[in-house]
Amino acid sequence: MWLRFPGLRSLELRLGLRVAPQRRQQQQLFLLKRKFSKGMEEEAKKKAGYMAVDNHVQNNQALGIGSGSTIVYAVDRIAKRVQDENLKIVCVPTSFQARQLILQHQLTLSDLDRHPELDVAIDGADEVDCDLNLIKGGGGCLTQEKIVAGCAKRFIVVADYRKDSKSLGEKWKKGVPIEVIPMAYVPVTKAIAAKFGGEAELRMAISKAGPVVTDNGNFILDWKFNNVSDWRKLNVGIKMIPGVVETGLFIGMAERVYFGLEDGSVCFRDRDSQ
């Protein structure tokens, strides 16, 4: 049996009238700050992407097109320059998303069968350290991204100010993505923990039941690591584990990284200047 207490609702209403306006103001301020911060991040991505395209894309080139939110702006700029300057270029995608971007912007779609050697590959990053080593694969496209980057004479990265770190793991807390053959994900998980410490977790999907499945039909482990002194040696060690397809560690591959900054400017760092 339910009991009613006279006056309880009116008391809640009275308290609500006092608390709600302040709470609403706090919520509105939080949303305003988040919207402003998001706007700054997107503007930073846009400017970095535009500068990378303007500095590295030329006529009669074969381009590798990366994946992720930053690359959307780079492809926008490529399409505008193709239209304005009548550039003759072909684009090789690193993912289904990149392929759709190329087609939506009516750029010439190609592949590594027809263009195994690329002039430039442009891609984003989840984190960049002081030596221009990268963590990539937050979007699950690490294997194709690394293949395309490896086929390019020049690998150019675009990012916003949040991705710039002194050491990998300083800002990116989701771990190193590792693509694995589905039947091997449990043995690989155990092997990584035993050999290198830390913890590798199977990445689960958000809008579907079960794990994330890559464009290649594989699973992804996210390895949350401890202190690492030699990224190159570690990367080779992980790849030697049977069942590992590729890692999201891009070691010594990026030639230049463009960072869109909070103040609206863009800076870049070259690997040779390290």
Q: Note the pLDDT of residue 45.
A: 87
The two structure tokens encoding residue 8: 């309880």
Contacts of 33 (CB under 8 A, 6+ apart): none
145 as an active site residue: the answer is: yes
Q: Note the pLDDT of residue 207.
A: 86
Q: Note the pLDDT of residue 272.
A: 72
Domain-embedded: residue 196: yes
**CA-based R_g, the chain, Å:** 23
Domain-embedded: residue 137: yes
Q: Note the pLDDT of residue 41.
A: 77
Q: Note the pLDDT of residue 108.
A: 98
Domain-embedded: residue 28: no
Domain-embedded: residue 179: yes
Domain-embedded: residue 15: no
Count of domains forming the chain: 1
> What is the chain's length?
274
Domain of 71 in residue numbering reads as: 35-264
Domain-embedded: residue 5: no
Q: Note the pLDDT of residue 11.
A: 45
Q: Note the pLDDT of residue 240.
A: 98
Domain-embedded: residue 95: yes
Per-residue pLDDT 10s for the chain (274 aa) are 444 445 545 544 555 545 456 666 666 555 544 554 556 778 888 999 999 999 999 999 999 999 988 899 999 999 999 999 999 999 999 999 999 999 999 999 999 999 999 999 999 999 999 999 999 999 999 999 999 999 999 999 999 999 999 999 999 999 999 999 999 999 999 999 999 999 999 999 998 899 999 999 999 999 999 889 899 999 999 999 999 999 999 999 999 999 999 888 899 999 875 4
Domain-embedded: residue 85: yes
Q: Contact at 8 Å (CB) between 215 and 95?
A: yes
Q: Note the pLDDT of residue 80.
A: 97
Return the amino acid letter for 157. V
Give CA–CA dist 122/64, Å, rounded. 6
Report the CATH number at residue 137: 3.40.50.1360
The single residue of 43, 117, 145, 179 carrying the catalytic annotation is: 145
